[in-house]
Chain A
Amino acid sequence: MTMEGEIVVGTVRGTRKDGKHIVVRRDGRVMDVLFDGDHSPLIGGDVIGRVRFDEEGTARMTLKPSVLDALLEGKATIYLLGSRPDLTARRFAKMLARSKSAVMSPGQGASIERSPVSEDPDLQWALDAFQPEAERLNIALNVIDIQTVARSEWQKSSLRDFALPADVEGNRRAMNDLMKLLRTGFTPQCNRMIEMHSGEREISVNFVLPYSPFMGAHGFAREVSRMSSGYLPNVTMTIRESRRLSSARNIALALAHNRLGAGRGIQANVETSPRTLHMAACFADAAASLAFIAYGGRRTAVYEYADLKEASLHFGRIGKTDELQPGVLAEATHKAIRAAAAADMPFGASAKDIVNAAVRIAKRVALPANRFSLEEGDRCTPQEARSAEVIAGHMATEIMAMDFDDLLRLGDGYKKDIEALVDEFRDSPEAAARLLTFAPVYVPDRLRRIFDEAVAELPEIRDLGLASKSIDKDKLAMRIRARAKQADDEIEFAVPGL
């Protein structure tokens, strides 16, 4: 009995009256197969394909040019050979670039697992939303299965093998980028590359890191709004909602260079300037919001996401000035998100319709080019600053001077958030260790006790080498510095511990 999805290699020896072809396999077994697709096999010709059985038990198959093409349709494990893994990986990446989108994760030993579907429901949701459009545009999305990576025990060498297939350039840029992102708490990103071999610019996607598994909803809100630890986010967004929005945004970003070009077939290098980055961010956030609502997501969560983005114009200032930290204005996509939330997108809309609508929104609401200054820092207008301050007041509560009992009541949302993360990762010592390394970045001031109590039940911490706390401390220090008036030594002791 042939199991569903098994790859069959054989020769067609004849046809039945009902249109089925008689296929004799290499081992001599005979099966009747109905061929789908545009091409029918010739009698006497060799056939390769993946056999599936329909509801009536009929074997159906679509012709494939090689066993490899048939293999890559399903889940596959890949071992890189050769004494030049960079060359091997480059060839491998070329091959993957012509295949369909897939989720990548480290396998056993030095292998890589590649699967057309993910077991992570939030990531799969985002893939389902955009994969049809990616395939229509011939974009192979190498999405990293972040839940598996979080639970995996990887060393620098295995990480290299894992990352290199995404590195079409044949250099170490993709690996270095991925290492950096994983070391800083699995920072979500869409990583692209540009090839200029034929004189024509060819942009492709190295990898998509869809979301950070250790952020939680509060961490996500804090990161999006650039809120410091002296505030507590006021959000009803759940962890799953935050992961879906983040995954959808980063997968949609992978389509930006193809969909934001000046004309048909013209790619846009979306990373050339803050304005193009802003345009791509508007597109991706609009697409993520449209997809979120079109597939049954809460509209309130999308409006919260927009408010957090607008609040970043307040929290992302340099000191008390109207000057913004680098990248804040480019990520100010609140107008695009609100336009998407207000759009009349039917339930279950197609990926193509969602992406088309997102392009229109981005082009309509993105800030003009003269708002972005390459010489001086970006600034928000007085009107924007006032609005952002009001929104920030709604989205965050300042907790430094708050009565402690009130703070504990208010911190109940954060407590549930961190407890949910602890529950999620308690089964894996590796993931637990990474949670302990990265989650403290998002602990609100004066609520460290809640975090410590929640993580006390985690398994023994293991030194994973890559999980360096120093980067996070720096990041935290930068945040503290951003809202401090005086010198660094004052800042260091300014946060009361509990």
Chain B
Amino acid sequence: MKNNKLPERLDTAFIVIGENNSTPVCLIYVPEAVETVRFTKISCDEEGVFLITEHDETVRIGNFDPEKFDELSERPDFRIHLVHEVTNNSLGEFDIQPVARQQAVFGV
């Protein structure tokens, strides 16, 4: 079932990479209305990077270079960190699995 609360695009995000190119973390700020949506994967296609919900719905992340995602998603230490836009509280940082672009299948 389509979740009406899902925005088309999440526009607040940044990547933080530690010293010596270690532990890349992508922080994505999530609006209040999406607080209860459970995202499980992150992947990309030619148009860009998107989050995937447990119901295989997608939300794009603005201006996230797919090539940068490809590079990061191959790393075991790459993490996605969802943050509540209003409270700045973490909505979890271990639940979302990066999926290489050719493995992301939707609507099946």
B62 at interface, CB cutoff 8 A: yes
Q: How far is the CB of A98 from chain B (nearest CB, A)?
A: 8
CB-based contact A84/B88 at 8 Å: no
Chain A residues lying within 8 Å of B14, measured Cβ to Cβ, are: 78-82, 88, 91-92
Docked pose: A70 CA to B23 CA in angstroms: 10
Number of residues on chain B facing chain A (CB within 8 A) = 33
Q: Is the CB of A75 within 8 A of B29?
A: no
Stretch of B5-13, B32-40, B51-59, B95-103 with 4 or more beta carbons under 8 angstroms from chain A: B5-13
Contact residues in B for A9 (Cβ distance below 8 Å)? 77, 79
Chain A residues whose C-beta falls within 8 Å of the C-beta of B90 in the assembled complex: 65-66
Which residues in B have their C-beta under 8 angstroms from that of A46? Answer: 94
Provide the bound-state CA to CA distance between A55 and B60, in Å.
48
Distance of A367 from chain B, by nearest CB (Å)? 43
Chain B 65-108 interface mask (CB, 8 Å, partner A; 1/0): 00010000000110101010100101001100000000000000
Tell whether, in the assembled complex, residue B88 and residue A94 are in contact, meaning their CB atoms are under 8 Å apart. Answer: yes
Provide the residues of chain B in CB contact with A6, threshold 8 Å.
22
> Which A residues are CB-close (under 8 A) to B76?
26-27
Q: Is A22 an interface residue (CB 8 A)?
A: no
- Whether B12 and A82, one on each chain, are in contact in the complex, defined by CB atoms closer than 8 angstroms, is yes
Closest to A77 in B: B17
Q: Let me know if A74 is at the binding interface, CB within 8 A.
A: yes
Asked if A7 is at the interface (CB within 8 A of a chain B CB), the reply is yes
Q: Do A84 and B11 touch across chains, with their CB atoms under 8 A apart?
A: yes
Residue with the highest number of chain B CB atoms closer than 10 Å, among A27, A71, A95: A71
Instruction: Collect the chain B residues with CB atoms within 8 Å of residue A84's CB.
Output: 11-12, 62
Q: How far is the CA of A72 from the CA of B16 in the complex (A)?
A: 8
**B93–A81 CB distance below 8 A:** no
Max count, chain B CB within 10 A of own CB: residue among A5, A65, A68: A68
Given contacts A76-B18, A88-B13, contact A81 B62 (CB under 8 A): yes
Contact B13 A82, beta carbon cutoff 8 Å: yes
Q: Known: A6-B22, A7-B18, A27-B76. Contact between A68 and B81, CB under 8 A?
A: yes
Interface residues of A in 188-222 (CB under 8 A from B): none
In the bound complex, CA of A84 to CA of B10 (Å): 10
Is the beta-carbon distance between B81 and A78 smaller than 8 angstroms? no
A67 within 8 A of B: yes
B64 and A81 contact, CB distance less than 8 A: yes
- Candidate in B63, B76, B85 with the most chain A CB atoms within 10 angstroms: B63
Residue of B nearest to A78 (CB): B16
Contact call A88/B12, Cβ cutoff below 8 A? yes
Which residues of the partner chain A approach B64 to less than 8 Å between Cβ atoms? Answer: 81
| Shortest CB distance B33–A (Å) | 16
Contacts of B85 in A (CB 8 A): 91
Q: Which residue of A lies closest to B21 (CB)?
A: A77
CA of A77 to CA of B19, assembled, Å: 8
Residues of A within 8 A of B26 (CB): 81
Q: CB-CB < 8 A to A3: which residues of B?
A: 20
A479 → chain B closest CB, angstroms = 43
Check A476 for interface membership: any CB of B closer than 8 A. Answer: no
- Shortest A69–chain B CB gap in Å is 10
A82 touches B88 (CB 8 A): no
Q: B29–A91 contact, CB under 8 A?
A: yes
Interface string of A6-17 (1 = CB under 8 A from B): 110100000000
Q: Does B61 contact A (CB under 8 A)?
A: yes
B19 to chain A: closest CB distance in Å? 4
User: Residue-by-residue, is A41-85 near B (CB-CB < 8 Å gives 1, otherwise 0)?
Assistant: 000001000000000000000000111101110111111111110
Q: Give chain B residues whose Cβ lies under 8 Å from the Cβ of A66.
A: 81, 90, 93
The answer to whether A87 has its CB under 8 Å from any CB of chain B is: yes
Min CB–CB distance B57 → chain A (angstroms): 20
Contacts of B62 in A (CB 8 A): 81-84
A81 contact set on B, CB distance < 8 A: 13-15, 26, 61-64
Considering only CB atoms, which chain B residue lies closest to A81 in the complex?
A: B13
A83 to chain B, nearest CB (A): 4
- What's the nearest-Cβ distance from chain B to residue A208, in Å? 22
A68 — which chain B residues lie within 8 A by C-beta? 16, 25, 27, 81, 93
Assess the A82–B18 pair: CB atoms within 8 A. Answer: no
Complex Cα spacing A66 to B90, Å: 8
For A87, the chain B residues whose CB sits under 8 A away are 11-12
Q: Are B16 and A7 in contact (CB under 8 A)?
A: no
For the complex of A and B, list the 4 residue pairs with the smallest distance between their C-beta atoms, beginning with the closest.
Answer: A83-B62, A81-B13, A75-B19, A82-B11
Ordered by A's residue number, 6 sampled pairs between the chains whose C-beta atoms are within 8 Å are A68-B25, A71-B23, A74-B18, A76-B18, A76-B19, A91-B14
9 new A-B pairs (CB below 8 Å) besides A7-B22, A66-B81?
A7-B77, A67-B79, A67-B93, A71-B18, A74-B19, A76-B17, A77-B16, A83-B11, A91-B29
